[in-house]
Structure 1
Amino acid sequence: MAISKSQQFFESLWYRKTVWWLWVFWPFHLLLKLIVWLRRSFYRIGIFKSTKLKTPVIVIGNISVGGTGKTPLAIYLIELLTSQGYKPGLISRGYGGHSEHYPLSLTQSTSASESGDEPFLIYRRTKTPVVVDPVRARGAKELEAMGCDIIICDDGLQHYALQRDIEIVVVDGNRQLGNGWLMPFGPLREPKSRLKQADHIIVNGQDMVLEPDPIQAINHHQDAIKEPITAVAAIGNPERFFKTLDGLGYQFKRQSFPDHYQFLKQDFESFSGSILMTEKDAVKCLSFADERFYFLPVSAKLSKPFLQSLMEQIKAITHES
């Protein structure tokens, strides 16, 4: 979900000691809590339609606004399931993308502006079937028709119109759940109690570690990045990217953009030296990136207890189906 400058401002308050004037939004916290409860109840008793697929569905999501590491986790799970003999596919809403036709099945000719940056990145990294559709149940059925025997629903925790067999919630290990309140009083989409209903909770930085891979050029073959460097991030938590670069010993200027920002060539005209981006941002710059542009890929590493528990659950549900 793309965030505005106003939301960026609120996020700077949500993840520190609550300032007094934020209490003005306490009634909205209560209102959202009621709406969330009613919505889930309506799905539970059948007032709102919810689709159950024949194919097992794994949902990856979070209960807070902003990035927590869902995309690297989705890539890891796809590669893991493929190595175990499964034929996984991924369904995504495709935030930031715009297509005239849905469901949109990604191909080599699909652009990030059509699909959204995260589905494009996942397809580019895994080469597994990826479908984008605002109606996730419809898109998931498309993956079934393509022969997928297990479906991963990216950022679908609150999308109750598609039933799920396994829920994985990702929590940022540094920011945690902020002040613990619902929007706009805090960063949460659902109450903290929602975590008790998930099958697995992954804390990014503890149960999952994002390890940086070698820096790569976007559209050229010069491997060594040169200073001065401007680090660019249009992700939910840009500080995670900047801290990673700090840890690698790079000296750089910071430049943040709103999450899912659609870059244009002119956005970089005033930058001197090399431009270093996240991989998610890099895929949106393929059409105009020159010799200044580089990106830092990351790979998720999961704890053994989580992997063992998850694979046992997957084997159980795939055997049942």
Structure 2
Amino acid sequence: MPEPFWHPNRIWYQAKHPLSVLLLPLSWLFCTLVKLRRFLYQKAYLRSHQAAVPIIVVGNLTVGGGGKTPMVVWLTQQLQKQGYTPGIISRGYSGQSQTWPQTVSASSDPHLVGDEPVLMAQRTNCPLVVGPNRPVAVSYLLASYPCDILISDDGLQHYPLRRDIEILMLNGHRRYGNQRCLPAGPLREPMQRISQVNFIVVGETNNKTAHAGEWSAQRLLGDAHALLNGQKTCQLSDFSGKTVHAVAGIAQPQDFFTCLSAAGIQLITHAFPDHYQYQKADLDFADDFPILMTEKDAVKCQTFASAAFWFVPLEIRLPDHFIKTVLASLHNPRNSRHG
């Protein structure tokens, strides 16, 4: 079904959309306010917290998914291989807990702490703390665990917390849309901001979409895992030519559907809002077709899973020397901390 005329995907990513033009005055106001806010933090008119250990921020310039969660998982695993003891802090978006900060484990309730933190805890097995106040979350984590480096998930615009390295994630197909700030476009900050980050990592890319100065991250779907028994796996090719229900409650569900279609799978697609809290009835399709979902959706469906439920993890692959380049930049004395 085509997206309606007023859908953000059309307003932000369609050239010269009339609603985007009408929203330009609000966009200019928003742009002015975010630039003023960053200036106040840079000049120390507003206080920012400097942690006792280095902090790597992974974030977006645009609204919506850009591959932050797979990048945080990959970066954490690479740091562990390099001998570091990393920790992760996150906002815990969609979490309904009344008490913050919260430590997240692989068995935490995603309804309380958010779906992405639970997924990251399951994939990395490293200390992870969520909370709306990131400086408080950092202090809480460092007081509880002997971490020597922290990763701030989706923290690019959270200037109360100082950072050493900024990694900007970008969707290789959508890129920056119409390059306008909210609400006329998808940008959280003006385009000038991209010149101030350390690394730009472009997901879903090939040699034609990764621009000069950007790192290309290949996005890959792993084997399917049975939700009732995560040790039971099968290759996606086993579903080739078969009809399945494809479920995705992520920022860009079509990306997941496209990857499954490329594997030759016949899809009945079900797109849900990002961070959707599933109920059993949502996935009761009254037939015997398998149900393939993202790993992020799976953490919220474990309590009512059936034998038909499978999740497909999304992974990224970066050049081997990327992590070495990040660490070299981290230890370069000329690389001053970002405000």
Aligned match for 2:10, one of 2, 9, 12: 12
Aligned to 2:296: 280
Cα 1:54–1:65 change in 2 (3 A) is same
How far the C-alpha of 1:251 sits from its partner, in A, is 0.8
DSSP 3-state at the match of 1:157 = coil
1:18 to partner: Cα distance = 2.7
How many Å separate the matches in 2 of 1:139 and 1:222?
A: 36
Q: Could you tell me which residue of structure 1 aligns to residue 49 of structure 2? A: 51
Residue 324 of structure 2: aligned partner: 308
Tell me the residue number matched to 1:148: 147
C-alpha distance in structure 1 between counterparts of 2:314 and 2:117, whole Å = 16
Q: 1:240 corresponds to which residue?
A: 255
CA contact (8 A) 2:243 2:265 kept: no
Q: Name the SS for the 2:247 alignment partner.
A: strand
- Correspondence list, 1:146-225, <5 A: 146-206=145-205, 207-220=216-229, 223=233
- Deviation of 1:311 after TM superposition, in Å, equals 2.3
Could you give the per-residue CA deviations for residues 222-247 of structure 1, whole angstroms, max 9, x where no partner exists? Answer: 64576431111111111111111011
Sequence identity percentage: 38
Is the contact between residue 105 and residue 122 of structure 2 (CA under 8 Å) also seen in structure 1? no
* 1:93 aligns with one of 82, 91, 94: 91
1:297 maps to a residue whose letter is P
Structure-2 separation of matches of 1:305 and 1:108: 30
Contact 1:230–1:271 at 8 Å: present in 2 too?
no
Greater shift, 57-66 or 212-221, is seen at: 212-221
Determine whether 1:298 maps to 2:297: no
Q: Deviations over 1:250-306 (max 9, x none)?
A: 111111111111111111123532211110111111111111211111221112453
Match in the other structure for 1:251: 266
Match for 2:280 among 227, 246, 265? Answer: 265
- d(CA) in 1 for partners of 2:6, 2:66: 15
What CA RMSD, in Å, does the superposition of the two structures yield over aligned residues?
2.2
Cα distance 1:8–1:69, how it changes in 2: closer, same or farther (>3 A)? Answer: farther
State the SS of the aligned residue for 1:252: strand
Give the corresponding residue for 2:209. Answer: none
Cα distance, 1:297–1:7 mapped onto 2, change above 3 Å: farther
TM-score, with length taken from structure 1:
0.92
CA contact (8 A) 1:143 1:151 kept: no
The worse-fitting range, judged by mean Cα deviation, of 120-129 and 15-24 is: 15-24
Q: CA separation of 1:86/1:34 partners in 2, compared to 1, >3 Å: closer, same or farther? A: same
Alignment partners' CA distance in 1, 2:182 and 2:136: 29
**Equivalents in 1 of 2:263, 2:14: separation in Å?**
27
Higher RCO structure (Cα 8 Å, ≥6 apart): 1
Q: Partner letter of residue 149 of structure 1? A: D
Alpha-carbon shift at residue 154 of structure 1 (Å): 0.1
Give, in whole Å, the separation in 1 of the partners of 2:247 and 2:198. Answer: 35
Aligned residues between the structures: 315
The TM-score with structure 2 as length reference comes to 0.88
User: Which residue identity does 1:204 align to in structure 2?
Assistant: G
Tell me which amino acid in the other structure corresponds to 2:221. P
Aligned to 2:65: 67
Pick closer, same or farther for the CA change 1:153–1:269 going to 2, 3 Å: same
SS of the equivalent of 2:173 reads: coil
1:307 deviates by: 2.9
Residues 44 and 7 of structure 1: CA distance in aligned 2, closer, same or farther (over 3 Å): farther
- Contact map agreement 1:178 1:187 (CA 8 A) in 2: yes
Paired with 1:113 and 1:209, the residues of 2 have a C-alpha distance of: 30
Distance 2:33 2:9 in 1: 22
State the Cα deviation string for residues 91-146 of structure 1 (Å, max 9, x = none). Answer: 00010112122110113542111111111000011110010011011111122121
Whole-Å separation in 2 of the counterparts to 1:205 and 1:315: 29
CA distance in 2, matches of 1:27, 1:205: 33
CA distance in 2, matches of 1:8, 1:111: 35
Any stretches of 5+ residues in structure 1 without a counterpart? none
Change in 2 beyond 3 A, CA 1:222/1:177? same
Q: Are 1:230 and 2:245 matched, yes or no?
A: yes
- What's the counterpart of residue 129 of structure 1? 127
Classify 1:222/1:301 alpha carbon distance in 2 versus 1 (closer, same or farther; 3 Å): closer
Which shows bigger deviation, 62-71 or 305-314? Answer: 305-314
In structure 2, the residue matched to 1:21 is 19
